[in-house]
Every structure is written in C-alpha cells, then in structure tokens.
Amino acid sequence: MQTFATQKKELIPNLAARKIFGLIRDEMSLVEAEFERQAKSNIQVIDYLGDYLRSSGGKRVRPALLILANYAIGGRGDADKVIRSATVMEMLHTATLVHDDIIDNADLRRSRATINARFGNHAAVLMGDWLYMSAFETSLKERSLEILDILTRLTRKMTEGELIQLTTLGKVDLSEEEYYDILRRKTAYLFAGCCEIGAILGDAPPERQQAMREYGMNLGIAFQLADDLLDFTSDDKALGKAAGADILEGKLTLPLIKLIQIEPSFKSLIEEIMLSGEYSGSIKNEIADGMQRHATLTQVQEIATGYAIKARKNLEILPQTEYREALDEIPNFVIARNN
C-alpha cells in the first residue's frame, strides 16, 4: 500500500509534467501527427513497425525541449519548420532506442515488448536504420547546413558512446571519467542538440545558442544520473522494464562506481552478478545495504541536483517568460520522476 508521502512524491513530477507539456499541448499534438506521417511507408512492414514504435509512446522530452527552447528565446518564425525539426529529434531518439535494445538484448521498454523481442533483431536493425535515414532526409529538406552539422555530430557521438560502452561491459574498475564520457555521448549530446537547434530556428544570437546548448548538456547529464538511480530505487512496473537491468547487462553506473570507491570489496560481488546474471534475494539486498550504509544513492542524487542547478543557471540569459519558466521546471521534473 502506498503511503501519503509516497503518493505525494509521485504527484510532484506528474504535476510538473502537466504544467510543462500543457503549455505546448497543441505543438506536441502536431509533433505526434508529423511523426505518424513520417513513419508511414508504402512498404507494408515498415508501415507496421513504424506504427508499433510510435504507439509505444514515451515522454517526448526531446521534441518538447526544442519547441520550448525556440519559444523561450523569442522565436516565432516558421512554425512548421520547428515542428518538423522537433519530430526529427524524436525519430533520432527512437532509432537509438531500437538499436540499444538489440545490443542490450532487452525484452521490455515502456511495459511493451521491444521491437527486437517481438519481430527479431534483423527487422529491428533495419527499422532503426530506416528511422535514422528518414530523420536526415527531413533535415536535408530544411537546407540548413548549421543544423545538419549538429545532427551529424550528435549522431556520431551517440554511436561512439554505444561502441565505447560495448568495450566496457563487465568492467568493474570503470572510472568516473569514463562513465561521464559515455553518458555525455549517449544521452546529453542529444539534449544539447535539441535546445541548440530550437535556439537556431528562433534566430537567437550566438551567446543564447551557447546558453541553450549548455542548458541541454547539463539537463541531459542530470536526466541520465536520475535514470541510473531509478535502476536501484524503482520497480519493474514503474520503469516499464526490468529493474536492475544495467548491472545485469554488465554496465557500471555511478552509484556502483561510488560504492566500489568507498568499499572496494564490492567489486568482486558486482563482478559475480555480471557473470552469473543473478541479481535478486540476498545478493540484491547486500548491494542495497551497502548503498544505504554509505549513502551512495544520496551522493548521486546530490550530483544530479547539482547539474540541474547548472542547467537552470544557463537560463539566466533569457527573458522572463512562461516558456523560460517551463524550461526552469524541467530539471526538477527529470530528477524527481519515478519512471
């Protein structure tokens, strides 16, 4: 049974989400429609897989960031271009998720069977590739070399991050520097790109473009740190996938890195979990007890909060509007969420 305190904790991010997304409700509906249009194909299997991916939902944080960044810097230019660009970012994100699920051999995402689990790896790889190419095809039509350069760079960074992570799977002496390098490449560069492109589409001056890029980078780091915490603090139902998946996949996240730094004897236990694929019962309790004893999760929460504060500080260059206020709310939302 949920306590009042638990219900209240869950209510806060839900209220924040409604406030943030309610501000751009109409624009997000247009993004959904554009995503549906771009995921359509006269090839039946692509059409079917596109519908399956799109209907699986998601928070749509990345396109929302692009739209809010555009409005926050005062951009009210070509609205159709903003919607198309926001959709491109969601398509790129979806493509990375499809490929990530294949690499991780994941069965669930958002409480639904992953595309690889349901349709096989071959179909999933090709669908991910198709989404990438469709996203770039749409971007090419905008005829903006500046935006294409950002998209090319961040896509390369994300791919490099996945490759680097593959080489570190099962590595129990991963350094914080290595961890943050992977995090920035796999998550934060896309957040930064969304915010920067939103500013560019609004004809923002260079200093505001830079501020929005840095806001997105700090927000992306806070987002992933919160995600790493949820792997230890949430359950399968809330996450929409198996809790503890990271450690079972051989990924050393910051809570585990901190735990090993404080008590090196945990290194052998974590290695055992990764090798055996067993993370339940007494072993899971031992990890949880160690984290509680050394306040590991609290440390990581404080680091995430620090990046959230940095993100909010990046917004000080912007005029005071309801859109800046929404961007100011997002860092709190991402670190307080429960899924």
Q: Which domains does the chain have, with CATH numbers?
A: 12-336 (1.10.600.10)
Angle at 147 between CA 20 and CA 22, to 5 degrees: 10
Residues 97 and 187: their CA atoms lie apart, in Å, by: 11
CB burial of 199-234 (b: ≥16 within 10 Å; e: otherwise) equals bbbbebeeebbebbbbbbbbbbbbbbbbbbbbbbbb
Say how far apart CA 250 and CA 184 lie, in whole Å. 19
How much is the pTM?
Answer: 0.91
Across-strand partners of 108? 113
Please report, in tens digits, the pLDDT of each residue of the chain (339 residues total). Answer: 333 233 334 444 566 778 888 899 999 999 999 998 888 888 888 888 888 888 776 779 999 999 999 999 987 668 999 999 999 999 999 999 998 888 888 888 767 888 898 888 998 899 989 999 999 999 988 888 999 999 999 999 999 999 999 999 999 999 999 999 999 999 999 999 999 999 999 999 999 999 999 999 999 999 999 999 998 987 656 555 566 889 999 999 999 999 999 999 999 999 999 999 888 889 999 999 999 999 999 999 999 999 999 999 999 999 999 999 999 999 998 888 777
Q: SS3 of 73, please?
A: coil
